[in-house]
Amino acid sequence: LASQPPKASSSESISEYASDSASSKAPPIASSDASKSSSTTAPPPDWEDNPNYDISHFSELPHTNFGVNQHIVINDEFKEALRQILWQFRAPIRYAFAYGSGVFPQSKQTAGSSSTTTSIHSKAPPAVEKAQGGTPKMIDFIFGVSYTQHWHSLNLHQHRDHYSALGSLGSGAVSAVQDKWGAGVYFNPFVTVNGTLIKYGVVNLDTLCTDLSEWDTLYLAGRLQKPVKILRDDPRVRLANQVNLLSALRTALLLLPPEFTEQELYGVIANISYMGDPRMAFPTEDKSKVANIVGNNLPHFRRLYSPLIENLPNVSFNDPKCSDPDWAADSTANVSLAQDMDPVKRGNMVRRLPKAFRSKLYFQYQKKYQIPRAEFNKMLESASDEDATRINRREGGGFERRIANEPPEDLRAEVRYVIKKTIGWPSTSQSLKGILTSGIGRSWRYMSEKMEKYREGKRKAAEAASAKAKE
């Protein structure tokens, strides 16, 4: 049974359209738009084949409601408190989102005393205290900026205390460290703004859009594959992130069997950014983190991905529960899905993987199939995304179908390897860069808190196992 997309307010319809081939499913119409013709909101059928990233206005997006599935709904007062934090920065922020457990809890909220809260935040707005309940946490932000050095120059003048000793070398040194090391992000952790303890990372918009569309590091693309609260939007980033979400969905489908559940799908998607992350090999991350993220934020994952699932031709909801128009709001529902394992359709998915990521996967199979380098280069050239003479539909050819026809576990192993290879070094170098950009004191505090979370997660897992054994 086909599902209805998760409900949204009338101002935030989440009908979203994407096609894997010329023969795509007919686009569904959200309940709030039932009276509208699909022709008024459907984007050009080839928007994903030829995305135009050289845009500066939302009116240039494929259609009016394009990408609104990215806007996760949270409490209005909490959202306003987060936005007020942005206004404390005079340096221009073009794109911003808040993310992590400080915004989207990874466990059930408990009531806490105000004294507990003030031990984390000096004087947080009531909306922040209420949203975080008895588990106050530092709130994480990413700021997208147009000109890295100019931004840091302004911010150093206003907020010199946010920076480590590196700030004494000036904005040129700061921006060089940001752009040339790691994944292109500069973090300032454990700073207080509006009475709220925050960490913010600064990234150039070009770096962000490249990672979202091509997966060259998956550092920020991976974060945006999970629910985040966008506080300041940008049309180019919205377009690139919609490509990122589709890529995450397709990659997860390559890693999944013919039938699976929602939680399994979202668990695979949420885990993409943790594969190859060196922090997962050390006692600094809760091993049940992915399950907690998905289990406590299932409706948010639905809002992100349900509209995309509805419009891919090779996957669909396959559960009687979806006949209930209100199923998407049910956080306890874990509906079933099914995908078509036809090599042609899966070959199309392989062909539509992000450029940098796809090239690494192709190289793995070039070695496996022992294709001569000259022949392989010619094949890559003929399959290039950039073609000045014709519209490239990006449909899989013989090479992609051969990959898709591999034994499922072999293909999954290769995809996992490429994910780890993509993430490994950028994440490692970004972590090492953190010692320089944050300073030794803040870095030690950050690691200590991560280790405490790891121990807490281990303790809860042991308690759950003990309780299950007694049943």
Q: Which of 34-43, 270-279, 299-308, 334-343 has the lowest mean pLDDT?
A: 34-43
Domains of the chain: 76-232 (3.30.460)
What whole-number distance in Å separates Cα of residue 166 and Cα of residue 170?
Answer: 8
pLDDT of 69 higher than 90 = yes
- pLDDT band with cut points at 50, 70 and 90 for residue 81: very high
Angle between helices 373-382 and 355-369 (to 10 degrees): 150
Place of tokens 């794109």: 95
Name residue 141's amino acid.
Answer: F
- What is the C-alpha to C-alpha distance for residues 63 and 61, in angstroms, rounded to an integer? 6
254 within 8 A of 343, measured Cβ to Cβ? no
Of the candidate ranges 6-15, 120-129, 324-333, the one whose mean pLDDT is the lowest: 6-15
Binned at pLDDT 50, 70 and 90, residue 18 comes out as very low
Residue 190: both structure tokens together: 């454990």
For the chain, give percent helix, strand, coil, nearest 5.
55, 10, 40
The pLDDT confidence band at residue 457, using thresholds 50, 70 and 90, is low
Say which residues have a Cβ less than 8 Å from residue 365's Cβ, sequence separation at least 6. 399, 402, 403, 414
Lowest mean pLDDT, pick from 270-274, 372-376, 399-403: 372-376
* Torsion angles phi and psi, residue 133, rounded to 5: 60, -135
Mean pLDDT in the chain? 84
Strands 196-204 and 185-193 come out as antiparallel
Q: What is the edge-to-edge ordering of all strands in the sheet holding 139-145?
A: 185-193, 196-204, 139-145, 95-99, 229-232
State how far the alpha carbon of 400 is from the alpha carbons of 214, 272, 383, 454, in Å.
18, 22, 10, 40
Please indicate whether residue 446 or residue 258 has the higher confidence score (pLDDT).
258
- pLDDT tens digits, residue range 209-218? 999 999 999 9
